[in-house]
Amino acid sequence: MTALRPRRKLDSAAQVESAPNEMINLHGVAKRFSNAAGEFTVLKSVDLTINRSEFVSIVGKSGSGKSTLLNMITGIDHPSEGQVVVNGTDIYTGVSESQRSKWRGKNLGIVFQFFQLLPMLTLLENVMLPMDYADMYDFDERPARAMELLKLVGLEKFANKLPILVSTGQQQLVAIARAMACDPPLLVADEPTGNLDSRSADTIIQLFEQFVSQGKTIVMVTHDPSLTSRTHRNLIISDGELINETVSRSLPQLRHRHMLEFTKLAEERAYRPNETIISRDQRVDHFFMIRGGSVDVVLRDEKNQEYVLSTLAKDEFFGESELLLDGKSIANVRAGDQPVEVVAIPRADFQRVMNESPITAEALGKIVQKRLESQRIADRRS
Ligand SMILES: Nc1ncnc2c1ncn2[C@@H]1O[C@H](COP(=O)(O)OP(=O)(O)O)[C@@H](O)[C@H]1O
Ligand SMILES: [Mg+2]
């Protein structure tokens, strides 16, 4: 795919300063719709950064705002508030609809749940369409390039067939080939496997993985948990708001509405290397999730010698046994040799959500149990 270089021109007016490794930056993006019943908010002040070569999935209940969020990134719709920078271009400030559409043709590939191939055109012609539209590549080069893309998705044999003559999985592969026609750095996909069997879905994710390994950035909305585990990052949107990623990774069992509560309550704190976070015998006032770095849980044996019971890293948590057992800390918890960032939830809020979420409380209880067991083993050893 790299053999043919596209002619890529950007509208200089909208170029902005952004970190070179950032592909997408949303700042304070809100979206409101109004209808007869009044105005309602679909996205509430979303902040989001996605780096180049990241493979990001987005999940959320139906109606939570996933497609609306994607439409903010693609420029298909426009935000009521906030700034959207994609590939170094502020796509809404001082850019006309037609400039945006041109920009989109060269910078973005878009894939939908229903493939939207033109039924009267062959597969090859469908793939050539974006090149014609964006006027990319020399006219004579386009068929060869489209054939190359069909080969990439394993459908070169069907190049001259109409879409109706191939399976739905194959139609989606053609739609992906079409999305990549102008070699865009970013692919945005809205439930691309939502209408496919699991084998076709797997083929598509493998293809996405291949694109990502070549440096493409992919943002994909999906309902399928077996796919989110294959992306670098999984974002959860609940009621038009993004969940704090440390919260969702540390406590994946939580209901989205509880994750959102924790997101709003989350207090970010930083500690220096080796700084004490919780002291032994101190009442614990927060539940902690680790955002970066690692912490040591330190105990003393009968001879008053310190030993490290366990080391907890990013996306693990601590403080829960004290909160669940309603006691004082049995150990010191301190930062490791690197600075530590945590997300802290106040005691009362943590306990309330645990009462409302027996599944999470049970999962946490099991982890606490394991830790206590390993502590007993360590005690016996000392
Ligand atoms: N153009 C629109 N006009 C009015 N309401 C809309 C429009 N687009 C989406 N909505 C509403 O916004 C909410 C979120 O929609 P959407 O982003 O499509 O959700 P999702 O993709 O997560 O299912 C829904 O309640 C939907 O009805
Ligand atoms: Mg949707």
Q: What is the pLDDT of residue 9?
A: 41
Q: Does the pLDDT at position 231 exceed 50?
A: yes
Say if 167 falls within a structural domain: yes
- What letter would DSSP give residue 10? -
Say if residue 169 is in the same domain as residue 114.
Answer: yes
Q: Is 34 in the pocket of ligand 1 (CB under 6 A)?
A: no
* Nearest residue by C-alpha to atom 5 in ligand 1: 33
What tens digit of pLDDT does each residue of 318-349 get?
887 666 566 677 788 999 999 999 999 998 99
Mutate-to-test residue for ligand 1 from 29, 31, 33, highest number of ligand atoms within 8 A of CB = 33
Give 195 Cα–ligand 2 centroid separation in angstroms: 13
Which CATH number characterizes residue 228's domain? 3.40.50.300
Give the separation between CA 228 and CA 235, rounded to whole angstroms. 9
Residue 174: which pLDDT band, with cuts at 50, 70 and 90? very high
Last residue of a domain, one of 216, 241, 266: 241
Percent with pLDDT over 70 in the chain: 91
Say if residue 16 is in the same domain as residue 93.
Answer: yes
Q: Does the pLDDT at position 39 exceed 50?
A: yes
Say if residue 174 is in the same domain as residue 98.
Answer: yes
Residue 13: which pLDDT band, with cuts at 50, 70 and 90? very low
Q: What is the pLDDT of residue 368?
A: 75
Contact 56, 220 (CB under 8 A): yes
Q: Is 226 helix (H, G, I), strand (E, B) or coil?
A: helix
Q: What is the pLDDT of residue 35?
A: 86
Mutate-to-test residue for ligand 1 from 32, 68, 113, highest number of ligand atoms within 8 A of CB = 68
The whole-chain average pLDDT of the chain stands at 90
Q: Does the pLDDT at position 376 exceed 80?
A: no
Give the separation between CA 124 and CA 160, rounded to whole angstroms. 6
Q: What is the pLDDT of residue 2?
A: 41
Q: Does the pLDDT at position 115 exceed 70?
A: yes
pTM listed for this prediction:
0.89
Say if 4 falls within a structural domain: no
Say if residue 219 is in the same domain as residue 317.
Answer: no
Last residue of a domain, one of 198, 213, 241: 241
Say if residue 235 is in the same domain as residue 256.
Answer: no
Which CATH number characterizes residue 373's domain? 2.60.120.10
Q: Is 240 in the pocket of ligand 1 (CB under 6 A)?
A: no
Q: Which of 49-53, 257-261, 370-374 has the highest mean pLDDT?
A: 49-53
Say if residue 214 is in the same domain as residue 318.
Answer: no
Q: Name the one residue in this structure whose structure tokens are 């797997």.
A: 202
Say if 6 falls within a structural domain: no
Q: Domain range for residue 136?
A: 12-241
Say if residue 191 is in the same domain as residue 279.
Answer: no
Q: Is 189 helix (H, G, I), strand (E, B) or coil?
A: strand
Say if residue 286 is in the same domain as residue 208.
Answer: no
* Nearest residue by C-alpha to atom 16 in ligand 1: 65
Q: What is the pLDDT of residue 225?
A: 79
- How many domains does the chain contain in total? 2
Say if residue 26 is in the same domain as residue 165.
Answer: yes
Q: Does the pLDDT at position 43 exceed 90?
A: yes
Q: Does the pLDDT at position 381 exceed 70?
A: no
Q: What is the pLDDT of residue 1?
A: 42
Last residue of a domain, one of 219, 241, 263: 241
Q: Name the one residue in this structure whose structure tokens are 């009968």.
A: 302
What tens digit of pLDDT does each residue of 159-170 get?
999 999 999 999
